[in-house]
Structure 1
Amino acid sequence: MQIHQLKIKSRKPKRRIGRGGKKGTYSGRGVKGQKSRSGANINPIFEGGRSTLIEHLPKLRGFKSIHPQNQIIGLDKINKIFDEGAVVSPQALREKRIIRKIKVPVKILGNGEITKKITFEKCLVSKSAKEKIEKAGGIVKN
């Protein structure tokens, strides 16, 4: 026997559900109720009359600035950590784990004293810090 010699058994016609003509069933909608009606779509936030989750949460006031705040470091900390003739840059500060992110600007403030000749690169420097650095023989490059 080969495939073309097989007898085709009678096929049951496909039921076109929900197309009228007494074909029966509820077309997957169940029986009665709001969801069974045509054009029925309920707001996904609606919870049957009780207060929604969104109504329970507090309103968030204000906004978050997209401009990052500078990472602030004092001269006294740099004086302790870096040696004479060192170059202080965001990469060097990240390697010593003084700052968290390289992309966020670094600002050097004039807290404390500096006694070593240190070069500062790619850092924002306050006026008082710049005076102290230059007095100690250091250089500020930007």
Structure 2
Amino acid sequence: MAKNLSNLRAPKKANIGRKRVGRGMGSGMGKTSTRGHKGQGSRSGSSLMRGFEGGQMPLHRRLPKRGFTNIFRVEYTVINLTRIASVAAEKGVSEIGLDDYKKLGLCSSKKELIKILGNGELTSAITISAHKFSKSAQEKIEKAGGKALVAGGEAVAKA
């Protein structure tokens, strides 16, 4: 049968209203207001912690602990040379400083630490400032005639 305006129907449960509790016997939710008789959740002020399983040992305590979180970990925003090459070609940029990453849409915040990875190729000479460079990125930048500057502005030393 073809669907047309005469036989359209709302999906199941689309038009069900909010549960109106404690509004008399005719509502079907009067007297105990869906709380049942006596028991833990029947009184006012009753609230249970997240994950409470009625006194049974909760799942998050039954499972073994694994691994650890290094609180001294330093998070870097990684940017590949392909992204830098495409942005440089699009906007005509020959130099990318630490303030430019946000403006060019390469990262979401000025405060982020940036690491350049060597995935992709550079066709033009670009001077790039970042907090860290991978060896392959550094080589590709210098091969294209550009410079890799570590955060303070000094060129990356060749090892």
1:92–1:54 Cα change, 3 Å: same
1:48-76 deviations in Å (ceiling 9; x for gaps) = xx884156286496547453421011101
Asked if 1:80 corresponds to 2:76, the answer is: no
What TM-score do the two structures reach when normalised by structure 1?
0.54
Asked if 1:128 corresponds to 2:136, the answer is: yes
User: 1:122, 1:141 within 8 Å by CA — same for their partners in 2?
Assistant: yes
1:94–1:85 Cα change, 3 Å: closer
User: Per-residue deviation at 1:89?
Assistant: 2.4
User: Per-residue deviation at 1:122?
Assistant: 3.4
What letter corresponds to residue 106 of structure 1 in structure 2? I
Q: Where in structure 2 are the equivalents of 1:57-68 lying within 5 Å? A: 59=60, 63=69, 65=71, 67-68=73-74
RMSD: 3.2
Higher relative contact order (CA 8 A, sep 6+): 1
User: Per-residue deviation at 1:78?
Assistant: 0.4
Identity, % of aligned pairs? 29
Aligned length: 95
- C-alpha distance in 1, partners of 2:74/2:138? 23
User: Per-residue deviation at 1:85?
Assistant: 5.9
Give unpaired runs (5+ residues) of structure 2.
1-42, 53-57, 151-159
1:99–1:58 Cα change, 3 Å: farther
User: Per-residue deviation at 1:104?
Assistant: 2.0
1:112–1:55 Cα change, 3 Å: closer
What TM-score do the two structures reach when normalised by structure 2?
0.49
Deviates more, 1:84-93 or 1:104-113: 84-93
Give unpaired runs (5+ residues) of structure 1.
1-46
- C-alpha distance in 2, partners of 1:89/1:58? 49
- C-alpha distance in 2, partners of 1:101/1:64? 23
User: 2:79, 2:115 within 8 Å by CA — same for their partners in 1?
Assistant: yes
